[in-house]
Amino acid sequence: MKYYLISGEASGDLHGAHLIKAIKQKDSKAEFRVWGGDLMLAEGATIVKHINTLAFMGFWEVLKHLPKILQNIKLCKKDILEYAPDVIVYIDYPGFNLRISRWAKTKGYTNHYYISPQVWAWKEKRILQMKRDLDALYVILPFEKTFFENKHDFPVHYVGHPLLDYVKQTTSSSNFLTKNLFSKTKPLIALLPGSRIQELKKMLPLFVRVSLAYPEFQFAIAKAPNLDEQVYLPYLKNTPIKLVFNATYDLLKHSYAALVTSGTATLETALFNVPQIVCYRSSWISYWIGKIFVRLRFISLVNLILDQPAVTELIQNNCDVKKIRKALEELMLPEKRQEIQKHYMKLKLLLGEGGASQKTADLIYNQLTSR
């Protein structure tokens, strides 16, 4: 069968690649055409648009790039018509994907959505469209099934979080520290400034300034797979900070603490039991609009799932060098680290056993073959 997958960010490329791998185990003749990145490409998919041209963060940034986004929507519709897939699988990226799913439904295509839009945070009215246009919705957070089914009478499939599988499948490189010239005596602090260029420009200068205040630690940045090395280099000039390639999980396995920009990385860091500080800044316009419309107590997945402030969040005005340094020093205290580890244990119990990619692949394939 022919599968058309649409993602728009690095996390979507990761989830999409694992889903493709799982689908191929069910459907040996599967063909994949995707909006994705290098990970999907490595699984044999044909790339229509690469994610490094698609990810825009914040309301103002989206508005600035609206002509390009509308052009991409037009291209996507044309490409789907020419490819004529058996199913379209949307992976997160809601602003784009919900537009395409609405159009695709009118054309008679089968719409499956993997990793739900966060309508529990804002734009809850989107659920009316989702109920109308989606043939199946696969959710990955424990509270989402209750939200959709009990509050909105929308049956969904809870498949668990795919990150559980990625972490379990990761085998640490025995020579990671030696290969990257890290000291085995200095604590290693991971810096995860995000996978979107707008995030990087906001967060990396702060992280660099913080790191220069602590010569007793060593700092390393996990390079996002969708961003070019050259994007990082101007910020790292004349600093001892190392840039780690294709080894984010190795870096987390060896890290004593982490500074993390809000997103999937907060959950990845928790699954590796690394105490973290969640840091987030955006343009003032995007932040102001977000404050009006987004109904969330927290921004990190760790705190959202636990529904409590398990890890420190520093947002916008509160996210500066002085406050990050204060939070980092608190993070070094044994009692603080023990407290965070207890929260992480509870988090893992809530997330369950994993198997999200395989469960989703099975459900998609079984629904297609039973039609």
Structural domain for 310, as ranges = 176-351
CATH code, 92: 3.40.50.2000
Within a domain: 313: yes
Give me the pLDDT at residue 64, please: 66
Within a domain: 11: yes
Q: 338 and 292 share a domain?
A: yes
Within a domain: 191: yes
pTM above threshold 0.75: yes
Instruction: Give CA–CA dist 156/162, Å, rounded.
Output: 16
Give me the pLDDT at residue 59, please: 54
Instruction: Give CA–CA dist 144/96, Å, rounded.
Output: 21
Q: 292 and 311 share a domain?
A: yes
Within a domain: 169: no
Q: 95 and 203 share a domain?
A: no
Instruction: Give CA–CA dist 282/299, Å, rounded.
Output: 13
Give me the pLDDT at residue 122, please: 79
Q: 249 and 325 share a domain?
A: yes
Give me the pLDDT at residue 288, please: 55
**Cα diameter, the chain:** 62
Distance of CA 363 to the CA centre of its chain: 22
Q: 142 and 192 share a domain?
A: no
Edge to edge, what strands does the sheet with 188-192 contain? 242-244, 218-222, 188-192, 257-261, 276-280, 312-315
Q: Considering its fold, how many domains does the chain have in total? A: 2
Structure tokens, 147: 């939200």
Q: 249 and 337 share a domain?
A: yes
Q: 125 and 205 share a domain?
A: no
Give me the pLDDT at residue 61, please: 62
Give me the pLDDT at residue 195, please: 84
Within a domain: 171: no
Give me the pLDDT at residue 282, please: 76
Q: How many residues would you count in the chain? A: 371
Q: 10-residue block means of pLDDT along the chain (371 residues)?
A: 94 94 97 96 97 65 73 96 98 94 98 94 91 97 93 96 87 83 95 89 95 97 89 94 94 97 90 96 64 70 94 94 97 97 95 92 97 76
Judged by DSSP in three states, 188 sits in: strand
Within a domain: 322: yes
| Main-chain phi, psi angles of 53, to 5 degrees | -110, 5
Instruction: Give CA–CA dist 194/281, Å, rounded.
Output: 11
Q: 123 and 29 share a domain?
A: yes
Q: 330 and 364 share a domain?
A: no
